Amino acid sequence: MRTPASFSRRNLIKGLLAAPFFVASARGAEAPKLVDPAAGPGAGWTIAVFPDTQNYAKYAKNQAHFELMTKWVKEHRQAWNIGLVMHEGDFVEQNNIAVGGGGGYGDQNSESQWASAKRALRVFDGVIPTVFATGNHDYGVRNAEDRTTQFNDHFPLTHNPLTCDGQGGGIFLEGPPTRDGKVTLENAAYVVKVPGGRNLLIVSLEWGPRRFAVEWAREIFARPRFRDHLGILLIHDYLLPSNQRDGQDGNRKRPGNPHWYKTGLAGDTHDGEDLWNTLVRKTPNLRLVLNGHEMGAHVGYRQDDNDAGKAVHQMLFNAQGLGGGSDHRGNGGDGWLRLLTFEPDGRTLSVRTFSPLRMKEGRPHYWDDPRWRFSVDFVG
């Protein structure tokens, strides 16, 4: 998402108050307990989700905060039974600048920003498999002026052997040729076996995915061998803090909508409503959509039945405007990450939002609010 220097605490509060209030019971399950972070929940299998991390990367003083977050996940992988790490995109603020952006746009050049993201996330290499989406700031010069990216230079197909070792090992299934006829992690499918639970089919798509990527994803989900898998879509932009899908109101000119960027002006792109109509609603086994990108309240949730009558849980989680936002005095995002725990009952997903940074600083480290702590039911 765009990160203007003018984003303030007042804008954050305004967004929080404007967002519709959904209690946990509306999602069909009791909210999870706030457990001792060091001990974990005691049962279940967890995915750790990182939101947009560009505000850590773009300031030298904030880069260590992202490293603290990833280190905490690695060190507590057994307590939480963390079997997968996800990143929702926007690893950097600018993909290709020679000097820091200045003002609210940071003090680090792109080389430093990408190196910071790589340094923080490489702790998972060979330890926990990873699934990444790409965001608008990961393309072009500063903000998706075109589809050039340094993402593949720092996170090539085989960067983490538990994701893909190049010899058929890892969770990676396949991807369509994206760059010069080569397969990259910009569009990729993964098969993950959850201990004691349903197997997952996860598809991550590029920023503002093009038609070929969406058509490929639809074909993957439709394969008979995946009929009983729980499908998950990881995408940078989809749901808004208003709990509407991006573009659901017909406004494709809103700053932040993929159609608004230069990468989408020709029409070959998809926002949230486009994805709902062309992919999500038509896919019986696609039951969970995760995205970042949006600010304001930074979170959103909605549940809709797909064309097969099955509930699809759609979740926005971001934190880039928290902890001071883009201001040079900010800390990059207050250290918030999301812990998604598949419970032993095989149907409940517990959602908790936790900050290792705030815990280190002696501040409240769980976000104890129904929009940030809730459960959903995958019955059916």
Confidence of residue 328 (pLDDT cuts 50, 70, 90): confident
**Domains contained in the chain, CATH given:** 9-377 (3.60.21.10)
Q: Please compute the mean of the pLDDT values over residues 339-366 and round it to a whole number.
A: 96
Is residue 46 within 8 A of residue 86, CB to CB? The reply is no
Q: What mean pLDDT, rounded, does the chain reach?
A: 92
| Residues with Cβ within 8 Å of residue 142, at least 6 apart in sequence | 93, 94, 95, 97, 101, 105
Confidence of residue 195 (pLDDT cuts 50, 70, 90): confident
What's the pTM value of the predicted model, to 2 decimals?
Answer: 0.93
DSSP string, 150-199: SHHHHS-TTSSTTT--SSS-SSEEE--EEETTEE-TTSEEEEEPPTTS--
pLDDT digits (tens, 9 = 90+) for 127-151: 999 999 999 999 999 999 999 999 9
pLDDT digits (tens, 9 = 90+) for 153-176: 999 999 999 999 999 999 999 999
Q: Is the confidence at residue 38, as pLDDT, over 70?
A: yes
Residue 295's SS3 state is coil
Q: Which amino acid is at 86?
A: M
pLDDT digits (tens, 9 = 90+) for 260-318: 999 999 999 999 999 999 999 999 999 999 999 999 999 999 999 999 999 999 999 99
Return d(Cα 28, Cα 25) in angstroms, integer: 5
Residue 45's SS3 state is strand
**pLDDT over 90 percentage in the chain:** 86
Q: Is the confidence at residue 249, as pLDDT, over 60?
A: yes
Closest CA to 169 of 177, 161, 157: 161
* 18-27, 101-110, 273-282: least confidently modelled range: 18-27
Q: What is the pLDDT of residue 380?
A: 66
Give 318's DSSP letter: -
Reported as half-sphere exposure (CB side, CA atoms, 13 A), residue 176 has a value of: 18
Q: Which residues pair with 234 in a beta bridge?
A: 204, 290
pLDDT digits (tens, 9 = 90+) for 50-79: 999 999 999 999 999 999 999 999 999 999
Cα 57–chain centre separation: 16
